[in-house]
Structure 1
Amino acid sequence: MQNTKRTRAAIAIVGAAGMLALSACGAAETGKSNTAGSDGKTVKLTVPSWVGAEANVAVAKHLLEKELDYKVKTQQMGEVLAWDALAKGDLDAVLEDWGHPEQEKKYVEDKKTVVKGGDLGVTGHIGWYVPKYFADKHPDVTDWKNLNKYADEFKTSESGGKGQLLEGSPDYVTNDDAIIKNLKLDLKTVYAGSEAAQITEIRKNVKAKKPFLTYWWTPQWLNSQVDMVEVKLPEYKEGCDKDPKKISCGYPNTPLQKYFNADFAKKGGKAAEFLKKFKLTTDQQNEIATMIAGDKMSPEAAAEKWVKANPDVWKAWMP
């Protein structure tokens, strides 16, 4: 995500490996979708590296293939790279975007190679969190002004004598280094490497009842299993994150958005109509994500199970 907004943060998707080679031949900077311009029956979707977004794609893929007779190709890639691929026509749709103002201006407003696809239906929020058992013992830790008081409690062998702020994947841009610097906090960001690794670290700390401070977000399936309390950062106000180096505010609530390649939006037929109507609630997304990450079901199996149990929901999306 862009440093003026947020990443959603992070979950490494088990089994989605690497990035397929993209062909931009004849599509660069034109917004022309190879999908819409060729057989018209193939849809290309990106799979972001966190399970909530993986759940979206799994359900959309299942319905596009089983109900609408499309072939769906998916590939995992970084968020900014996905925007570039979307603009070129190498992707048809991004189903969960947490806010990329630079890319929106470049591709939606200026080049007009990408168009808005509407709300996903889920509102995301990023923040800093501590475990409830620590907040219960030290209630003032939930105010950022008191974090330096507890920096020693958050130290790890990797945090260089400072309190550790646990992060997920370095692929996701956050505002945390700027926030730490500008609020003069005795903290250091330490990256677990992926969402899965971050969850492993959180679980290990919870099992040992250790204090920890972590970058985290909602919706997230783990929140139903691990009780964490948000630390109140300075209130987000419109424009407070405009200059990445000067950010000293918290994160906003972000209605998550869908974006389509402009040509696909016009010529994508029933697939485009379906994806425009595609919408999940936070609870629905968490239910599917929990099947994948918590119950260790494959995305395909989780999607099939959810679709079978919720015909009244998805039939409203059909063209």
Structure 2
Amino acid sequence: MKFVEKKWLVVTVVMLICYLISIDAWATDAKKTIVFNDRSWDSIQVHNRIAGFILEHGYGYRVDYMFADSMASLTGLGKGDIDVLMEMWVQTNIAGYKKLTESGKMVDLGPNFTNAPSGWYIPTYMVKGDPKRGIKPVAPDLKTVEDLPRYWELFKDPESPNKGRFYNNPSSWALTYEINETKIHTYGLDQYYNVFDSGSEMALVTSMVSAYENGKPWLGYFWEPTWVMGTLDMTMIGEPAYDPKRWVKKDYGCAWAADNVVICVNSKLVETNPDVVSFLKRYETSVPLTSSILAYMKDSGGKPEDAATWFLREYPDAWHKWVPDNTIKRIEDAL
């Protein structure tokens, strides 16, 4: 009897070990960690965590997030140090995009979201006023860039009050920073406005929100989707219609094109991890959906990973379409 009990004990232990080995093998079968490119704005960090959670808990991959802004991220993607870029703003990064795709180092997997606007904004109350807050319109005729010279004193730069201040994005976003600087020069606004380096997205947002809450003027560059643009009533300053020739010429004397924001991967990933690529090809959201996720993160005081799990709980119909049926339960069990 004791022999039989020992025999079954040994069998049970062996089966348990085999089970644990199989679980570990499933979790490490990826053979590599999938590295996402983190940048300094919220939406890409949230999309990284959504995709990362799915790959980790649904597919058994380990994931990592490497911070690199602007051209450094494209260099890393081209070399293979970074595997996935969840937000390639094509129009904004057209030169780098073409270079990497044409060289075969990067593959465009299709849109994350489309028609994402960006441009120069002011608070709407500057033009229309806000009777509820007792704010009168101080620039009722400010509609286009051509009107900015006559209103520069409303935007006085506290560090150089002989000119107005234009809040640019952080200089670490080298390309967009330089485009806005060039636009200021092309429009002849450099004699009226200083270009201010915000230093970080957080500082740029803070400057806007602070001005808005105090009913003060503000002029600067911004984009969508973001929680702040979904919360504040802002108006985009008109520019001449988008003209691709002006962008080729690089004087940028026209509006930004509404951007198609696509998902790109290092080309080697297509061969080494086709399941990851298949998932990312199906991953697609929208500007309104992304804004709602970011608004939740702001309102709840959460982090990008909290916003990611909230999205996965609240929008199953969206992400179920991205993954095979056999991964859904694993992902939902991990939430």
Q: What TM-score, normalized to structure 1?
A: 0.83
Cα 1:90–1:243 change in 2 (3 A) is same
Asked if 1:55 is matched to 2:56, the reply is no
Asked if 1:271 is matched to 2:276, the reply is yes
CA distance in 1, matches of 2:106, 2:319: 25
- SS in structure 2 at match of 1:241: helix
% same residue = 25
After superposition, residues 168-317 of structure 1 pair within 5 angstroms as 168-172=169-173, 173-174=175-176, 175-185=179-189, 186-244=192-250, 246-317=251-322
Q: Which residue of 2 aligns with 1:166?
A: 167
How far does residue 95 in structure 1 lie from its aligned partner after superposition? 0.8
Q: For residues 161-219 of structure 1, what are the alpha-carbon distances to aligned partners after superposition, in whole Å with 9 as ceiling and x for unaligned?
A: 21111123111122121111111122221122111111111121112211111111112
Q: For residues 100-158 of structure 1, what are the alpha-carbon distances to aligned partners after superposition, in whole Å with 9 as ceiling and x for unaligned?
A: 2222232211x211111111123222111110110112232122111111001111213
8 Å CA contact 2:240, 2:253 repeated in 1: yes
Cα 1:312–1:55 change in 2 (3 A) is same
8 Å CA contact 2:30, 2:60 repeated in 1: no
Residue type at the aligned position of 1:131: P
Q: For residues 9-62 of structure 1, what are the alpha-carbon distances to aligned partners after superposition, in whole Å with 9 as ceiling and x for unaligned?
A: xxxxxxxxxxxxxxxxxxxxxxxxxxxxx9535211101211111111111111
Task: From 101, 114, 133, give the equivalent of 1:108.
Answer: 101
Q: Which residue of 2 aligns with 1:132?
A: 124
CA distance in 2, matches of 1:303, 1:105: 30
- SS in structure 1 at match of 2:157: coil
8 Å CA contact 1:221, 1:289 repeated in 2: yes
Q: For residues 271-311 of structure 1, what are the alpha-carbon distances to aligned partners after superposition, in whole Å with 9 as ceiling and x for unaligned?
A: 12111111111122112222334432122222112101111
- SS in structure 1 at match of 2:248: coil
Residue type at the aligned position of 2:118: I
CA RMSD of aligned residues (A): 1.7
Residue type at the aligned position of 2:280: L
Q: What TM-score, normalized to structure 2?
A: 0.79
Structure 1 residue runs of 4 or more that deviate by more than 6 Å after TM superposition: none
Asked if 1:69 is matched to 2:60, the reply is yes
Structure with more of its chain in helix, by fraction: 2
8 Å CA contact 1:96, 1:258 repeated in 2: yes
- SS in structure 2 at match of 1:165: strand
Which is bigger in relative contact order (C-alpha 8 A, separation at least 6)?
1
Residue type at the aligned position of 2:126: F
Q: Which has the larger radius of gyration?
A: 2
CA distance in 2, matches of 1:183, 1:150: 15
> Which structure 1 segments of 5+ residues have no match?
1-37
CA distance in 2, matches of 1:217, 1:273: 29
CA distance in 1, matches of 2:204, 2:295: 16
